[in-house]
Amino acid sequence: MRICVPTMGLSGAHDLVSEHFGRAASYTFVDSESGAVQVVPNDTLHMGGAGYPPDLIRAHGGEVMVCGGLGRRAVAMFEERGVMVYIGARGTVRDAVAQWRAGQLEAATDENACRQHAFREEEGHEHGHGHQHGHHPEHDS
């Protein structure tokens, strides 16, 4: 199985999981059987290029995406492309893959997606100020 982890740089398995999957500098792919690692720079719309991250990830053979968190729209886009998404990953790529293997991550759903992404325009929410992704009860109503 080919696992994708959004990452902060280009250093492969030792790189840190990016807090914002769409604006990650790169996507690191790990083959769950062979352990082979491939780093793909993020050249999607979020980074001034073309296309969406789920398309890039699928085009590079991603079957599973492991990340800290993501929005409801992204969850739907991954579902449409047949990519399973797990949230709650922290640390390095190596850590994130180990967390996935150990069953420590939660399958992403519409209910547990980071609600702040859906409210970004209405509330003036911006990324890059160190907020943590995950469930935000204040946005449930």
Residues 63-78: tens digit of each pLDDT: 999 999 998 999 999 9
- Over residues 21-79, the pLDDT tens digits come to 888 999 999 999 999 999 999 998 877 778 899 999 999 999 999 999 998 999 999 99
Burial class (CB in 10 A: 0-12, 13-18, 19+), 69: buried
Give the chain's domains with CATH numbers: 2-139 (3.30.420.130)
pTM of the model: 0.79
Judge whether residue 117 has pLDDT over 90: no
Structure tokens at 114: 């980071």
The rounded radius of gyration (Å) of the Cα atoms in the chain is: 14
pLDDT mean across residues, the chain: 83
For residue 71, the Cα-to-chain-centroid distance in whole angstroms is: 10
* d(C-alpha 138, C-alpha 141), whole Å: 7
* d(C-alpha 104, C-alpha 109), whole Å: 16
Judge whether residue 141 has pLDDT over 50: no
pLDDT band at residue 20 under the 50/70/90 scheme: confident
- Which of 55, 62, 77, 54 is CA-nearest to residue 28? 62
Residue with tokens 């050249």: 43
* d(C-alpha 17, C-alpha 69), whole Å: 10
